[in-house]
Structure 1
Amino acid sequence: MFYQFPEDFYWGGASSALQTEGSDSSRGKTIFDVFYNLAPNRFFDGVGPNKLADFYHRYKEDISLYKAVGHNSHRTSISWARLIPDGDGDVDQEAVVYYHEVIDEFKRQGVTLIMNLMHFDMPAALQAKGGFENREVVDAYVRYAKICFELFGDKVKLWATFNEPIVTPEGGYLYDFHYPNVVDFKRAVQVSYNMIIAHAAAVKVFHQVVDGGEICTILNITPIYPRSDNPKDVAAARIADLIFVRSFLDPVLLGQWNAELVEFLGEHDLLPVGLPEDKQLIAANRVDFIGLNYYQPRRVKAKEHVPHPESVLLPESFFDYYEMQGRRMNTSRGWEIYPKAIYDMLMTIKNEYGNVKCYIAENGMGIQQEDQFRGADGVIDDTYRIAFYKEHLRYVHQAISEGVNCFGYHIWTPIDNWSMINAYKNRYGVIEFNPQTGERKLKRSGSWFKELVDANGFDD
């Protein structure tokens, strides 16, 4: 069967300034520079954010490689700390020139650009003031967004406010895998709240500044499945859904907080502090489209044991995770492979959120030690990645055939890149990157992706 996709479908990939540009002297420090200086042992092989693929100097070559694997579109980000080194002061003119050159190169090579304002990389100077716990930092973000729109909005018409904003409270304020390494549910809720305010305010400014553009945010609204239809399992899954899905999805698409979530937070003394005008701000500034990242499902069951009253309150105080019997795993990454979830995620957008325009903003497979799959011709034979894409694209195709307003599919990521904490442990690219030599080289999946785009579909 041939899976044909709609005309003008966006095929491409996603990357970020934080993970590709490089830590040269022209950039201000981010929270990951601070984290690495404090705890280099927490980064895989001790490789920190100063050992990247140097997109800053090699962007022309890398964009050419994106084209070589068929990409007609790409999402990347501006580094807030490069453009405004202290986060809220003077604009660095060298950075302005650089981003104009990058944007112009994407256009010259015929790649439609979706520009993201923030991909986890809070400027260190603003984190020192409390990061998104501090309402003044929200104001600094909105100022930064306005500067970006004024500088580049005549050239870039598709924007995103954040990539996976929930990762900031999860990593930095719940689960201790990002700086500032806080474990405090209430503070995490406050950070989430303030990021939603920052998002809505940026959407408002965008439509005041950019003529004829559209703006989104990129959410990883991982589908959540209960172990069984037992009411207690279903209730546990609902709590997880409220926390990890509806917390951001409802405000950005419906323009309001989820009432069940507000009730739940109130019952557990977790409600954030806001301003009276916040509700109207969110209601009046919904996104034009939504980006959706998908990697793995969450599977949830009712608690097996009552939490100790002196234990730290976390989302998992209200549910347990479970491992479905017979599940398929990407053993390199430790993630379940469940392609149907991408269909379920898209159908949620159609059935519960007005079928707003959407695209798959990230989908991919991270594998360790890919060199073991190198063929006699020197090319990494990552047929497992091709199979992964096909499985997920079949479900994307099904969702589109059933009326979902999905206009694109982006992989994470075109070129192997550095990842926060995991460094180069797991490789996601269709283009191999050698951190020792800087060499880039197509994998088997890169050639296949070009064929996919040329045909606007695939045979399977």
Structure 2
Amino acid sequence: MIKVNIPKDFMIGAAVSAWQTEGWSGKKDFQDSYLDLWYKNNKNVWHNGYGPAVATDFYNRYKEDISYMKEIGLTHFRSSINWSRFLVDYENAVVDEEYAAYVDNVIDELIANGVEPMFCLEHYEVPAELFEKYGGWESKHVIELFIKYAEKVFDRYGDRVKHWFSFNEPVVVQTRVYLDAIRWPFEQNTKKWMQWNYNKALATARLVALFKEKELKEKYGAKVGVILNPEVTYARSTAEHDQEAARMYDMFFNRTFLDPAIKGEFPEELFILMEKHDITPAHSQKELQIIKENTVDYVGLNLYFPHRVKARTSAWNDSIPFHPEYYYEKFELPGKKMNPYRGWEIYPKIMFDMAMRMKDEYGNIEWFIAENGMGVENEHRFKNEEGIIQDDYRIEFISEHLKWLLKAVEQGANCTGYMLWAFSDNVSPMNAFKNRYGLVSIDLENDRNRSLKKSAHWYKDIIKARQFEALDDRVNK
């Protein structure tokens, strides 16, 4: 084992989202988000029927949860403001004072307990009304409504919240719905997928412009960014055809968001490919100029697993709509270490490799890990006699990923923090409470009672000591 030191000002926190924790207490009937709509229309695919209706009941129990954050010693807590609940009139941005007061209280409670709040303005919570009426992020009008909403949020909380983000994982919803068609309403439409991608990149730039207009950096020392989920992509081999497959995957799924947010422009080749496959989104030179002039202050990156690809071994079926898989196939690495519950490969070096990429390709912009964690099924199996879940697997997962991340920091990567997913067990799309990610356990059988897992006590110790033990990579090679 080796000792790993955590820099003095390095954030060590945890994250959840509004829709995955709050529940529907106080929600008006018309205030559904896209996720609420999906749950209502397709409840049978959600594990054991659990979904956003009750979630962890954070809306009513936030004081209890924040007391646990204080006990653990989290420096930061990231969540979202639920756009669908923050307003009662989306067209005119009329604030729901009841929900807004709840957010006020959460922010004040966090600050009073020494925890820095961080908020996304959309974590899959696009209002259902806008999804049904305008097609959600397919519409430029929805961008305008988003900025109206953001202005109300900034005006109300900008004096206390110093970390703002447009989206969490802006590629996810449309990829599941319109590209892969595996989530409600199951519409395969690659052009619509790309329009959502483009419009969210534009919305991020528009939010940055609003942030500048409000002078939140000058007045309060605040920063604005976006939280992305690039999949660190590895080719099967060094052969040119496999390397090209990895490059194409990276361009469609990673650079489509990294480049406009940080560099202020989309890859030129991406537009050529979009024209070739007839998926070019509606756009204008004026919009591209807005993107160019309004890059983010920093980015959060959600990293869980590597993505491995190889060149196609079979011809593409031209009778089906274009999909980026036209250029690659997934590759299963023999002998890889797996999280069998989530079906994800465990490869902690993704932290180092992505950090070096941020340093070398993206100007060493400030960034942090916004999510990283391990979901495990049936964790109650690991309770000891005192009823504490002995999640040593999570401790190992965190320590190995954090070790590689801090190794990159030592080599000059401008990474300023690590946020664990998640603070508590919470609802995930479809999987609901099947896989548990939290430092804090949620007991569904006993009024959603909370308790700290072994990992929470370990996390508390490393935050206080600014040091932890990890495996020595030089051993057993």
Structure 2 length normalisation: TM-score? 0.94
Compare 77-86 and 124-133 and name the one that shifted more: 77-86
Tell me the amino acid that sits aligned with residue 72 of structure 1.
Answer: T
Q: Which residue of 2 aligns with 1:372?
A: 381
CA distance in 1, matches of 2:444, 2:248: 42
Pair 1:456-2:466 in alignment: yes
Aligned residue-pair number: 460
* 1:184-333 correspondence to structure 2 within 5 Å: 184-209=189-214, 210=216, 211=219, 212-333=221-342
The answer to whether the 8 A contact 2:42-2:184 is kept is no
CA distance in 1, matches of 2:350, 2:418: 15
CA distance in 1, matches of 2:91, 2:308: 41
CA distance in 2, matches of 1:96, 1:433: 26
Tell me the amino acid that sits aligned with residue 68 of structure 1.
Answer: E
Q: Cα deviations across residues 6-58 of structure 1 (Å, max 9, x unaligned)?
A: 11211100111010011123351111221122111111112221121111111
Tell me the amino acid that sits aligned with residue 127 of structure 1.
Answer: F
CA distance in 1, matches of 2:426, 2:102: 20
Q: Cα deviations across residues 212-254 of structure 1 (Å, max 9, x unaligned)?
A: 3111100111110010111111111111000111000000000
Q: Cα deviations across residues 379-404 of structure 1 (Å, max 9, x unaligned)?
A: 11000000001110110111000001
The CA deviation at 1:353 is 0.4
1:338 is aligned, of 329, 347, 360, to 347
CA distance in 1, matches of 2:224, 2:329: 36
CA distance in 2, matches of 1:61, 1:178: 34
Q: Which residue of 2 aligns with 1:130?
A: 135
Q: Which residue of 1 aligns with 2:36?
A: 33
CA distance in 1, matches of 2:91, 2:77: 28
The answer to whether the 8 A contact 1:86-1:125 is kept is no
The CA deviation at 1:317 is 2.4
CA distance in 2, matches of 1:86, 1:335: 41
The CA deviation at 1:459 is 2.6
2:440 is aligned, of 395, 407, 431, to 431
The CA deviation at 1:77 is 0.6
Compare 154-163 and 312-321 and name the one that shifted more: 312-321
CA distance in 2, matches of 1:180, 1:101: 35
SS of equivalent residue, structure 1 residue 18: coil
Tell me the amino acid that sits aligned with residue 359 of structure 1.
Answer: F
Q: Which residue of 1 aligns with 2:473?
A: none
SS of equivalent residue, structure 1 residue 104: helix
Pair 1:114-2:118 in alignment: yes
The answer to whether the 8 A contact 1:383-1:445 is kept is yes
Tell me the amino acid that sits aligned with residue 459 of structure 1.
Answer: E
SS of equivalent residue, structure 1 residue 20: coil
The answer to whether the 8 A contact 1:31-1:179 is kept is no
CA distance in 2, matches of 1:387, 1:222: 21
Pair 1:54-2:57 in alignment: yes
CA distance in 2, matches of 1:86, 1:349: 40
Q: Which residue of 2 aligns with 1:18?
A: 19
Tell me the amino acid that sits aligned with residue 104 of structure 1.
Answer: D
Q: Cα deviations across residues 78-118 of structure 1 (Å, max 9, x unaligned)?
A: 00011114533421111121111111011100101111101
CA distance in 2, matches of 1:4, 1:401: 10
Q: Which residue of 2 aligns with 1:173?
A: 178
SS of equivalent residue, structure 1 residue 229: coil
CA distance in 1, matches of 2:386, 2:34: 41
Structure 1 length normalisation: TM-score? 0.98
Q: Which residue of 2 aligns with 1:79?
A: 82
Pair 1:151-2:152 in alignment: no
The sequence identity of aligned pairs, in percent, is 40
1:413 is aligned, of 419, 422, 427, to 422
The answer to whether the 8 A contact 1:222-1:345 is kept is no
The answer to whether the 8 A contact 2:425-2:440 is kept is yes
* 1:63-102 correspondence to structure 2 within 5 Å: 63-89=66-92, 90-102=94-106
Q: Which residue of 2 aligns with 1:445?
A: 455
CA distance in 2, matches of 1:123, 1:313: 29
CA distance in 1, matches of 2:280, 2:273: 9
CA distance in 2, matches of 1:362, 1:172: 22
CA distance in 2, matches of 1:289, 1:276: 25
The CA deviation at 1:68 is 1.6
CA distance in 1, matches of 2:467, 2:224: 27
CA distance in 2, matches of 1:261, 1:455: 46
Pair 1:2-2:6 in alignment: no
The answer to whether the 8 A contact 1:185-1:313 is kept is yes
Compare 323-332 and 23-32 and name the one that shifted more: 23-32
Pair 1:355-2:364 in alignment: yes
The CA deviation at 1:313 is 2.1
CA distance in 1, matches of 2:181, 2:88: 25
Specify every segment of 5 or more residues in structure 1 that has no aligned partner in the other structure, as ranges: none
Specify every segment of 5 or more residues in structure 2 that has no aligned partner in the other structure, as ranges: 471-477
Compare 73-82 and 309-318 and name the one that shifted more: 309-318
CA distance in 1, matches of 2:88, 2:319: 42
Tell me the amino acid that sits aligned with residue 30 of structure 1.
Answer: S
The answer to whether the 8 A contact 1:299-1:324 is kept is yes
Tell me the amino acid that sits aligned with residue 448 of structure 1.
Answer: W
